[in-house]
Structure 1
Amino acid sequence: MTLALALVMPALVLPWGAAAATRRLASLLPPREACAALTAAAVLLTGGTVAALIGLFHVPFLASLEQIPLARAAAEWPATVPAAAAAGAVLALQTVRAARRWYAHRSVLARAWASTGDAVSDGDLLVVPDGDPHAFALPAWRGRAGRVVVTTGMLRILGPAERAVLLGHERAHLRGRHHLLSLTADIAAAVHPALRSLRPALDFHLERWADESAATAVGNRRLAATAIARAALAASTAERQPETRGPLLAVGTGPVPQRVEALLRPVPVRPRSHRTRAAVVALAAAVSAAALSGLALAYGLHEYVELAARALHAG
């Protein structure tokens, strides 16, 4: 059973290094591809972690399939029951934490939609009569299509061209279903603590994706940078701050100075140099290997139990 634990532990440790590699990989890619890499890594690493824990939790069950009573398995492999119990407890905790994140996500959406009851509708735009400057993308909810929510206070601060940037930014969030990507990273963080660092990285690249979409829509990167900076600064100085963590992505999310600086540079493109491409491939391979290790080690644990059972029967 010591060998069995040694098989599982790498799957639980590797996500720490894989998360760091994923953040580095995302920094080398354009925003859209960076978001895809971060979300895929969150899903794969979560799956690998859960697979390893399920494999460890099922060791007593696997032993019973080999016609080894639990009492004898515990006598021969003293760590069997404690390790399986620990894995079961962790899985239960992960389930509760993930369910709470999902419930919080839905609760924020419900409250956000309820707060737009007195809003004036104009196509996909909801204008809320509120002096505080705020704007965010409100995802679809119970048959209602997603909307861009903007307060009258924000509209007063921005000029017509800057409003076009702001609306383009929030519409990009809705088109790309960015709230689902954010929710995926949030649930992954509930499964493994190493994956918590992917959430702020994903939030940043989601905002960068929306920034680039807005800049493309208006055809002026400097105008887009100015509008994003003004809107974010205005929102940050408002007296009342909306709950934007989770499904609501606002223009002021993430490190705004870095976002503005990126808009003042040329349009980001995929890596072209051989050295950068090699780094991207190497990082992607490392993250994939770490993510798939959980599945491979869970299978190896199953094979180990079968071999150990045969040896026990032969003895």
Structure 2
Amino acid sequence: MTLLLLIVALAVALPWAAAPAATRLAGLLPPRAASVTLAGAATLLAGGAVAALVGLFHVPFLAMLEHLRLDQVTADWPAVLPVSCAAGALLVAQTVRLTLAARRQRALLSSAWRLTGECAAEGDVLVVPGEDAEAFALPGFRGRAGRVVVTEGMLGLLGPSERAVLFAHERAHLRGRHHAFSAVVVLAAAVHPALARLGPALDFHLERWADEAAATVAGDRRTAATAIARAALAGAAGSGGRGGRFPSVSTGPVPLRVRALLEPEPAGPRGRGPRAAAAALVAAVVVSAVLALGLAYGLHEYVEHSAREIVGR
């Protein structure tokens, strides 16, 4: 049974090692591929940790399926109830954290729509009165399509070509459903705290994804870089009261984003570094899956063995 506990410990601890590998790999990929990698890794690693705890929690129930009394199981493994209860407590804590995180996400979305409900709409753009410089992509909610929210203060700082870049940037967030990527990592972090470190990296790559889309629309990477720099710096200096955690032009390290726009469009990864990082991440995910399967098989075999031992007495 010690081996099964070791498998559970490895499955739960694995995200601490896999999260840095995912972040490293994302830094070597184009923005869109990096975002998909981070969100996918968060989902798989959180799922592996939950599966390990569920398997351990179900040991007494597996014994019941073998028609074993609980006292017979505890006689062979005295720690079964404490270990199962500990796994159950962790699952309850994960469920509570996950529920609270989901409710916060929904409350934030509802509040943003309520605050912008009276704003003037120009197509898919909602213009908010006020001197603060803000712009963000507001996801759809309750049947309403997503909108680009921008304040009068932000519009006043930008020229026509820069406004076009700003709108293209925020529309890329809506078109790519970037809020869903962010929500995935937020919820995964509620399940396993190690995955919270993926959030800042994902935010940066989502902004880079939208930056590249805006540069394509502008047709000139330098013009796009100038517009993004002005809008992002102005937004970073604002209150940020309406945008909250929604994809926004001011998110992430602005100098790195501007520098990337002043360079050629990113291509696919090359060299040994990306391959090594990809191999490390794939290995971590595969190990997580193997550990979960090994736990399920091991628990089944353990209960079967206990049943044979009890019957043979």
**TM-score, structure 2 length as denominator?**
0.95
What residue is the counterpart of 1:224 in the other structure?
A: 224
- The answer to whether 1:241 aligns with 2:235 is no
Please tell me the root mean square deviation across aligned C-alpha atoms, in Å: 1.6
| Cα distance, 1:223 vs structure 2 | 1.3
Asked whether the 8 Å contact 2:137–2:170 carries over to 1, the reply is: yes
Q: Which residue of 2 aligns with 1:305?
A: 303
Note the C-alpha offset of 1:306.
2.2
Report the CA distance between 1:277 and its aligned residue: 5.3
Matches within 5 A, 1:66-145: 66-145=66-145
Residue 52 of structure 1 aligns with an amino acid whose one-letter code is: A
Pairing 1:37-76 to 2, within 5 Å after superposition:
37-76=37-76
Matched length: 312
What are structure 1's unaligned runs of at least 5 residues?
Answer: none
**Residue 19 of structure 1 contacts residue 195 of structure 1 at CA under 8 Å; is this kept in 2?**
yes
Taking the aligned partners of 1:16 and 1:308, their CA distance within structure 2 comes to: 34
Alignment-derived partner of residue 158 in structure 2? 158
Whole-Å separation in 2 of the counterparts to 1:266 and 1:306: 61
Say whether the 8 Å CA contact 2:112–2:243 is kept in structure 1: no
Q: Secondary structure at the match of 2:78?
A: coil
Paired AA for residue 270 in structure 2: R
Partner deviation per Cα, 1:68-99 (whole Å, 9 max, x = no partner): 21122122211100010011111111111111
Aligned-residue sequence identity (percent) comes to 56
- Give the drift of 1:245: 4.4
Q: 1:221 & 1:310 partners in 2: Cα distance? A: 71
Mean CA deviation greater in 299-308 or 53-62: 299-308
Equivalent residue runs for 1:162-181 within 5 Å: 162-181=162-181
Q: Pairwise mapping of residues 185-200 of structure 1 onto structure 2 (< 5 A)?
A: 185-200=185-200
Amino acid at match of 1:270: G
Residue 291 (structure 1) aligned to one of 288, 291, 295: 288
Q: Secondary structure at the match of 1:145?
A: coil
In structure 2, give the amino acid aligned to 1:271: P
Q: Which runs of 4+ in 1 moved over 4 A?
A: none
C-alpha separation in 1, matches of 2:310 and 2:211: 63
TM-score, length-normalised on structure 1? 0.94
Contact 1:55 1:302 in 2 (8 A): no
Structure 2 unpaired stretches of 5+: none
* 2:23 alignment partner, SS class: helix
Letter in 1 for 2:40: A
What's the secondary structure of 2:150's corresponding residue? strand
